[in-house]
Chains A and B, each alone.
Chain A
Amino acid sequence: MKRIRIDRLSSQLLAATPARPPPSSNRIPRALAASRLSPAPSVCQTRCQSTAASPEVIYEDAGRDVAAPKPIDYSKRPLPSPHPDRALRSAKLAALHARLSLSSKIPLQTLARTLIDPSADAHPRFNNVNLAFVGAALLQYHTSEFLVTRYPRLPMTILFAAMKGYAGVPALHQIARAWGIEAAATPGEEVDPGLLQFAPDRPTVTMNRWGYVRAESKELQRYKWRRGVSSRILYDDAFGELVPGESEQSHDGLELSKQRNTKDMIVEDVAQNAHANFVRAVIGAVYLHCGRDVAKTFAKAHVLSRQLDLANLFNFKLPTRELVRLCARENFDAPVARLLSETGRLSRTPVFVVGIYSGTDKLGEGVGPSLDAARISAAINALKSWYLYSPGDTVGVPSDTLAEDAAPWKPVYVDIGEIIS
């Protein structure tokens, strides 16, 4: 089946736009920014028919910057990234393939492609943008279904933070480091294909954006408007972060401080972003070559198997009041703080152990240097044990039913919502 190449369609439409933003800025263009790739149509037709693995694709990046039809000796120009054929001779790549226990269905050329950041090679046929986009979508789906079924009572802000803790850029950067990925000093043709290639001074793209660009996104960034949690669920990306709108600079007089406004648009840490995109691209490559189930197993084994202490993500403002509201909502008896034990009440370092009881049931227990601190920490512990309720490790996720011989779906527990939101 032949797919429509959307990027090539748009490249014909946008052939007049410049190939790249000026290299001094590393701002993020829109996801799938078509204006980034604008090879001259004639050049593209001669070379873009081949796949990444085929040997006759030597010249396409060289021709990209040159829109003039005059003949150029392409063979003299260095490629921005190593030739795909060199992947077969790279010891580092073979070692990485073996270390990750990847299936033999995944060719080394694809693995080499996952290591090329768009800042090193802007051509989407030779960098990992598209693979990373597929991988990010899969990874965020599996992470969110894992979290929602495993911890059905998590508040939305904690859920966003947990998503970031499992599938966010810093976590994926750590995973890539644990896989033994090293970065090349500078991307180029002569670099070993087993090294991660990115250029910190050139523009890159974040392919993890999956959301709706709000109409007011510019004002949200400029004036720091408040975004409610409901609108973050509805409009923003999987981590509850704003999808940045057009990256073009606004030159109107309303702008308060250019430095502050552009801060959100820049990739903070290019190296971290490149490492994270590599992990996503590997998941995308596994999905493309081995299928859905293998990709899910891979994501589970490498990302979801990591430990994240959800109890540390909470920050309460009025824990005692929230607990009272919870007990009233659930028709429990009103919570009462009871003194379980104490020592050194009149000393310099007293310790009080306070338990929160509803009726005769103990809901939580806390220790503190004063009665009030102990009561607050007991209320916090009680609320955490409410929010961190889990139906167990064996609870199924919706994607389990996609397998052929899957058991019928048993509905999971769905909580009615947060106490104070």
Chain B
Amino acid sequence: METRHLLRPLSSLSSSTTTTATASAMSSSTSPFTRSIVAAATGRRHQSTTSRTKKMLKIPPHPDFLTPREGESHIIYNPPSAAPSVYHTPFKFLPKTDPRRQANLTQLIRSSADLSGPSANANNLPPPSTKREGAPKMYNVTREQVDEMRTLRAEDPAKWSVQKLAERYKCSHLFIMMCCKAGPEHKAQERERLEAIKARWGPIRSGAREERKKRKALLFKGAI
């Protein structure tokens, strides 16, 4: 019986409310007002059963999610690419004796071309993730400069902070911290300042910090 209702066209559904012939003649020339009323009523009726709801929800996917025609550019890949398995050893990691290395001649020729020097197809590679990534290391700080930064840091660690020294000698913060240490009283002062800042944190911020630590641990375990 339900299928019969479904198969019945909308016009007959609207006419079913009126039984007489005159009424059906009226409905054939309905005003926009009555049509909207009928549509609203039928719309409500469509959600009254599962099959009607399913039928209403059966809409075609957005064209972005369909497989594009040949030669068309698209930004959504369907299906999306999966993360590569770690059990698939990259060509470069295969040992010299592995038969897969000899079998893959194209890769062999490519990698031997790489070893000869910076190859021409380096431009085809994706960009480095940060600006400093892959940049050659600068060994620009001399021994005298290291001695100088040590004396500066020793005489006034508040003025010559790690950031200031890094700016002055154009090296990384890590290098400054490797070279010179602040005195114990400066360390204690900094620690006190940090503790005071942490004491001002509310539950949300301190909880977020804890979460961040947990996420970091999960990251190194490869769990996320």
Q: Are A and B physically bound partners? A: yes
Say whether A241 faces chain B, with CB atoms less than 8 Å apart: no
Q: What's the Cα separation between A155 and B95 when bound, in Å?
A: 17
Which listed residue (A334, A374, A382, A390) contacts B129, Cβ 8 A? A374
CB < 8 Å: which of A317, A334, A385, A415 contacts B87? A385
A336 near B86: Cβ-Cβ < 8 Å: no
Partner of A336, one of B87, B114, B133: B133
Other-chain residue from B86, B129, B220 in contact with A338 (beta carbon distance below 8 A) = B129
* Binary interface encoding of chain B residues 113-155 relative to chain A, with 1 for a CB under 8 A from any of its CBs, else 0: 0110001011001111110011000000000000000000000
Residues 211-224 of chain B, each 1 if its beta carbon lies under 8 Å from chain A, else 0 = 00000000111101
In the complex, whether B62 has a CB less than 8 A from a CB of chain A is no
Contact of B127 among A339, A373, A375, A377 (CB under 8 A): A339
Q: Is the CB of B128 within 8 A of A311?
A: no
Interface size class, chain A: 35 or more
Residues of B within 8 A of A332 (CB): 92
State whether the Cβ of A83 lies closer than 8 Å to any Cβ in chain B. no
A380 within 8 A of B: yes
Whole-angstrom distance from the CB of A308 to the nearest CB of chain B? 13
Interface SS of chain A: helix, strand, loop or mixed? mixed
Q: Which of A115-132 touch B at CB < 8 Å?
A: none
Interface residues on B, range: 20 to 34
Residues of B with C-beta under 8 A to A352: 129
A364 partner, pick from B90, B111, B122, beta carbons under 8 A = B90
Q: With A and B bound together, what is the CA distance between A340 and B134 in angstroms?
A: 15
Which of A157-165, A195-203, A353-361 is near enough to bind chain B?
A353-361
Name the distance in Å between B212's Cβ and chain A's nearest Cβ: 11
With contact pairs A311-B86, A338-B127 given, residues A389 and B220 touching in the complex (Cβ less than 8 Å): no
B201 within 8 A of A: no
Interface presence of A376 (CB below 8 A): yes
Identity of the chain A residue whose Cβ is nearest the Cβ of B92 in the assembled complex: A361
Is B83 part of the contact surface with A, judged by Cβ < 8 Å?
yes
Q: Considering the chains assembled together, what is the distance between the CA atoms of A359 and B84 in angstroms? A: 19
Chain B CB within 8 A of A305 CB: no
Can you list, as one digit per residue, whether each of B90-106 has a CB less than 8 Å from chain A (1) or not (0)? 11111101100000000
B220 near A380: Cβ-Cβ < 8 Å = yes
Bound-state Cα–Cα, A213 to B127, Å: 56
Asked whether A357 lies within 8 Å of B125 as measured between CB atoms, the reply is yes
Assuming the A-B contacts A311-B86, A389-B95, are A361 and B128 also in contact, with contact meaning beta carbons closer than 8 angstroms in the complex? no
Any A CB within 8 A of the CB of B49? no
Contact of A365 with B219 in the complex, beta carbons under 8 Å: no
7 more A-B residue pairs beyond the given contacts A338-B125, A352-B129, A360-B114, with a C-beta to C-beta distance below 8 A: A316-B220, A336-B133, A338-B129, A382-B90, A384-B86, A384-B222, A413-B97
A-B contact pairs, 24 of them (CB 8 A): A311-B86, A312-B222, A315-B221, A332-B92, A336-B133, A338-B127, A339-B126, A339-B129, A355-B126, A360-B121, A360-B122, A361-B91, A363-B92, A363-B93, A364-B86, A377-B222, A380-B220, A380-B222, A381-B86, A385-B89, A385-B93, A386-B93, A413-B97, A413-B98
